[in-house]
Amino acid sequence: MTDRGILVLVSGTQRSGTSVLARTVNLLGCALPGELLATNAGNPTGYWENVRAVAIDEELLKALGRSWDDPRALPTDWLHSEAAAVAREQIAQLLDDEFSTQPLTVLKDPRLCLLAPLWIEVATSSGFDVRVVVCLRDPREVAASLARFSGMDAAQARLLWLRQLVAAEAGSRGHPRALAYHDRLLADVHGSTENIARSLGLAWPESGDASRSAIDAFVQADLSPSSNTAPRMLDGDPADVLYATLTTTDDAHSWPLIASAQASLDRIAAFCDPLLDRLHQMADAAALRVADAQAQVQAAATAVAGHRDLIAAQQLELAARDARIGQLDARLVESQRLHEAAARWHFPAPTTDASAVEPPRAPANAATATPRHLRRIAIYLFHDAQGVVDDYIPHFLRALAQHVQRTLVVCNGAPDAAGIGALEAVGVEVLIRDNFGFDVHGYREAINHVGVQALADYDELLLLNYTFFGPIFPLVEMFDAMAAREVDFWGISAHAQAGSPFEAGQVMPAHIQTHFLAVRAPLLHAEAFAEYWRTMPPIASYSDSITLHEARFTAHFAALGYRWATYMDLADFGTDHPILIEIDRTIVRRCPILKRRAFFHDPLYHEAEAIDLRRAFDLVRAHSDYPLELIWRNLVRTAPPRTLYTNLELLDVFPSVRIADGEPVWRHWKVAALVHLYYPEMAGEVGRYLANVPLPLDVIVTTDTVEKQVAIQSALADLPNLRCLDVRVLASNAGRDCAALLIECADVVLHGRYDAIVRVHGKRAPQDGAQRAAEFRRHLFANLLDSPGYVANLFDLLAREPMIGVLMPTVVQVGYPTLGHAWFGNRARVQALADELGLRAVLDESTPLAPLGSMYWFRPGALAPLFSKAWRWQDFEGESYGDGDLPHALERLLPYCAQARGYLVWCALTVRSAARNYVKLEYRHQALSACFPEADTRGQITTVRGYRDDPRPFKVRGAANELNAALRRSLRFRIDKLRGKRP
């Protein structure tokens, strides 16, 4: 025995009994180290697979252009590939972390059929004594099981069985090994495991009565009816012949027979692999033809414009070459018009030209400039209500470190352990204080902490905080430009002189905004500067921090004769608050920061001031190397989804033809549709929409009776893009489509097989009336699955924006009173569910950004927490299926689950749907606005909320005051109108 103990590798084709064997030998004393895969409907008694090992194998297969269900052999030189080198290091680390402390361990993964040579090499070189067990099950049973749990075709399953058995035998040559027959293991588990032990040359540590009883109970729980009554596919089928040959010997767990057949097996592999490669190439080619169908027809239509007979002939030729291009309809006739209109509706790339952002500035007055190499000290203030130090903060501090000699991070409230570690990893000092006095007293305490004597060693002090992302552009541009200016203190941006929002009738002077303030010597070393901080009054509110510091600092020291300036000069802008209102123009001017407030500030303020945050964001995307994911990670954790959605305009409007040119990057994606059909007569309508998915599609349907199952299978069997169809009969109809999704389809979502999944169901909503119900249904289906070109546009969007977790139609509002009221009594239960599932979510105030109607596209990882919970039918029984019940709460929880997982929620509409919704919304808004004397939406809302929130009835004095206020508002409105201030 070697110094690291014995490692037993358990492999075998999927559904061959590897899980039963792994757990059985575990009960016999073999350790199963590390975190194991969770159970699900596909394997309720457990997979018994190490999570890290599975992840390593999945990534390696993906890098080699393979997957677990690919029957082709691995590339000839795969062991010498870069992917194998990466996996080799990961395997060694895993074995050292989790497998090195036990004398006898077992590692089970069906993928070891293909990858065993690498694992054996690494384990052996790491000091492990490796033994191999290959599980063997009748190929008919394997095919039947794979058909049920993954929709695999029987012929493909047999090829997979044959390929992986050949690979498993070849990969384990020269090492102690055993065959484990599934049927014999279930019939006589103790005798089978004893034979395995003899073949491997070891003894099981646990073999007493307690172990035997536990094994009997486990095997009995896992026992399922055999499916080996299925007929052989063909006389002499290689899989059947090989299996029959291997079962003719009494010594079922020895290898003499298979060893003598090695040459034959090698010949089988040499024969099969070229055929399988060809089949795979044909399948890829078919998928590409389907994906490119719309583009081909567009090109054909342009080439033969005006020749309808020739167009029809080419359409027939395309249909004959590939039956999947049979879905062309009348929309293709107007494809050119739609393509021209698309540019007005959608921007697949940022809507910026190459010269939109100015080049870096040359420092002015270089001859008389302050020396560039100033000794700087930075005091960076941090605060987060949850104590989380998001990645954008260390990113900025690392960039800042190139321009300062010392950085002190003062924390208003303690960061969590990970946050402290992230700050210390940057190499900064960390000062933690209680959260009082806002940023002002944080700076004051940090200055006192540094001390007057230490400040005397520096030429410039930077006071800055966590309220911006950056650097968007290199900080050296700003520091060089400002070094050339003869000033005593400076900042990035300023607020112009304006009326004070905190003190009626007072003027707030122009001032540097204190998210970034630089103070130079001699002011830095002056007694006036020390006295300013020494005499700083208490700061008890946000308004105090503005009036007593931010709006005061600049005027105070300017009055003492000190000069100031800003990198973003107010003279270059036309508003009093350009860092927020003209945020896109600050990026054009190469401002190095992007204010966080712009993303989560009141959307009504954005609209009133015409702030174009989306343009600013797209300018950053096009002209900066700043990692945008740093912005998303912070915002999805801290901002309500609807606020982000509105301020960033996360809505795309697409035509029915594909906008992008070239080969789609998603052409090899695996996609699925999860469908619930309580009404089987709707299968035809649902199928017509599903046929618009321009990729081979796995369709998993849930329904509640066998009779409906048969009808649905018949209705959907001929979908032109169908890859596999799995119609499942539910044990209960409690919870309707919601429970069916979370309970019966959890295995599909958690399997990790799919890149994108669409969720639809046969929605009728008879309680809403026929016309409104039809509107709701069209709104959902059309905006998810309108046409092949439209769905291709959705896929292009998902590929371009990897942060999108849920992609859905906008909230239905034509015919439904949803806007402002869509919580409908469900908010409290949604919050309770989020807390129960451990989801950190910021709920929207009045209208959740949720897929009302429960239809949407999603990435499986975005909703994994919902599917990982072990829901039961009993959880949904007794629910009234009305507002406040579990299904309605879960429907509204979806976007907040995605948000908590670090994903965005995005919306998409067809051109027709966008037009229909906009005109209705515009009319509704103008009709409502006409009821107020003021035209400003924020003023209208303030008025209504004042009435709503004041519980006191009007008295004479109150009524008179209200009348006086109304007359004053009306007079202001009319005077402004007469002056021409209103359109």
Per-residue model confidence (pLDDT) at position 913: 93
The mean pLDDT of 896-921, rounded to a whole number, is 93
Residues 35-48: tens digit of each pLDDT: 898 888 778 888 89
Any bridge partners for residue 380, and if so which?
409, 464
SS3 932: coil
Give me the mean pLDDT over the 9-38 stretch.
Answer: 91
Nearest to 477 by CA among 407, 567, 578: 567
Cα torsion through 552, 558, 561, 563, rounded to 10: 140
Mean pLDDT of the chain: 84
Taking the CA of residue 695 as centre, how many other CA atoms within 13 Å lie in the half-sphere pointing to its CB? 26
Residue 426: Cβ within 10 Å count: 18
Distance CA 84, CA 766 (A): 57
How far is the C-alpha of 93 from the C-alpha of 285, rounded, in Å?
A: 40
Q: Is the pLDDT of residue 133 over 90?
A: yes
Whether the per-residue pLDDT at 492 is higher than 90: the answer is: yes
**Statement: residue 331 has pLDDT above 50:** no
Mean pLDDT of 807-826: 82
pLDDT band at 323 (very low <50, low <70, confident <90, very high): very low
Query: Where residue 11 falls among pLDDT bands split at 50, 70, 90?
Result: very high
pLDDT reported for residue 938: 77
- Mean pLDDT over 568-597 rounds to 96
What tokens were used for 495? 């607020």
Q: pLDDT of 624-655, one tens digit each?
A: 999 999 999 999 999 999 999 999 999 999 99
Structural contact between residues 874 and 848, judged by C-beta atoms closer than 8 angstroms? no
Q: What is the mean pLDDT of residues 905-916?
A: 95
Flag whether pLDDT at 847 surpasses 90: no
β-bridge partners, 180: 135
- The kind and range of the H/E element at 491 are strand 489-491
Under the banding of pLDDT at 50, 70 and 90, the label for residue 225 is very low
The CA-based dihedral angle spanning residues 749, 752, 756, 760, taken in that order and rounded to the nearest 10 degrees: -10
Residue bearing tokens 């990645």? 391
β-sheet bridge partners, residue 498? 508
Query: Model confidence at 885, in pLDDT bands (50, 70, 90)?
Result: confident
**Residues 180 and 192: beta-carbon distance below 8 Å:** yes
Q: Do the Cβ atoms of 803 and 903 come closer than 8 Å?
A: yes
- Weakest-pLDDT range from 139-143, 196-200, 249-253, 876-880: 249-253
Q: Which residues pair with 766 in a beta bridge?
A: none
Q: What are phi and psi of 506, to 5 degrees?
A: -100, 155
Residue ranges of the domains in the chain?
A: 6-277, 370-568, 652-920, 932-978
Kind and range of the H or E element at 490? strand 489-491
Query: Helix, strand or coil for residue 767?
Result: helix
Q: Write down the pLDDT at residue 701.
A: 96
Task: Assign domain 652-920 one CATH number from 3.40.190, 3.90.550, 3.40.50, 3.40.1130.
Answer: 3.90.550
Give the pLDDT band of residue 231 (cuts 50, 70, 90): very low
Structure-block tokens of residue 173: 């040559």
Q: What is the pLDDT of residue 363?
A: 60
Q: Point out the least confidently predicted range of 151-160, 817-826, 889-898.
A: 817-826
Of 343-357, 422-436, 866-880, which range is least confident? 343-357
Placement of tokens 């190439």 in the chain? 281
The architecture (CATH level 2) of 370-568 comes to Alpha-Beta Complex (3.90)
Sheet holding 460-465, edge to edge: 429-433, 406-412, 376-382, 460-465, 516-520, 489-491, 564-566
Tokens found for residue 879: 């629910």
Instruction: Name 871's Cβ contacts closer than 8 Å, sequence gap at least 6.
Output: 739, 742, 743, 746
Q: How confident is the model at residue 326 (pLDDT cuts 50, 70, 90)?
A: very low
Mean pLDDT of 329-356: 42
CB atoms near residue 456 (< 10 Å): 10
Tokens of 132: 């191999």
Quick one: average pLDDT of 78-100?
Answer: 92
Which pLDDT score, from 0 to 100, does residue 804 have? 96
Pairing state between β 516-520 and 460-465: antiparallel
Which token pair is 190? Answer: 């103790």
Which tokens sit at 913? 């749907």
Write out the two tokens for 641.
């989804």
β-strand pairing of 856-858 with 406-412: unpaired
Residue type, 126: S
Q: Is the dihedral angle over the CA atoms 484, 488, 491, 494 positive or is it negative?
A: negative
pLDDT at res. 100: 84
Give the gyration radius of the chain's Cα atoms. 34
Comparison of pLDDT for 347 and 947, the residue scoring more: 947
> Can you say whether the dihedral through the CA atoms of 822, 825, 830, 831 is positive or negative?
positive
- For the purposes of burial, counting CB atoms within 10 Å of the CB of 178, is it exposed (0-12), middle (13-18) or buried (19 or more)? buried
- Better-scored residue on pLDDT, 480 or 365: 480
User: 112-125 vs 154-171: helix axis angle to the nearest 10?
Assistant: 20
Kindly report which listed range (70-84, 144-158, 596-610, 716-730) carries the lowest average pLDDT score.
Answer: 144-158
469: pLDDT confidence band, cut at 50, 70 and 90?
A: very high
For the ranges 11-15, 446-450, 839-843, the maximum mean pLDDT occurs at 446-450
- In the chain, the percentage of residues whose pLDDT exceeds 90 is 56
- Burial of 297 per CB tally in 10 Å (0-12, 13-18, 19+): buried
Residue 198 reports pLDDT greater than 80: yes
CATH topology of domain 6-277: Rossmann fold (3.40.50)
The pair of three-digit structure tokens given for residue 731, joined into one six-digit string? 């044990």
Q: Which two tokens stand for residue 375?
A: 């000794």
- Quote the CA–CA distance of 757 and 748 in Å, as a whole number: 10
Domains 370-568 and 652-920 share a fold: yes
Per-residue pLDDT for 813 more than 50? yes
536 and 547 in contact (C-beta within 8 Å)? no
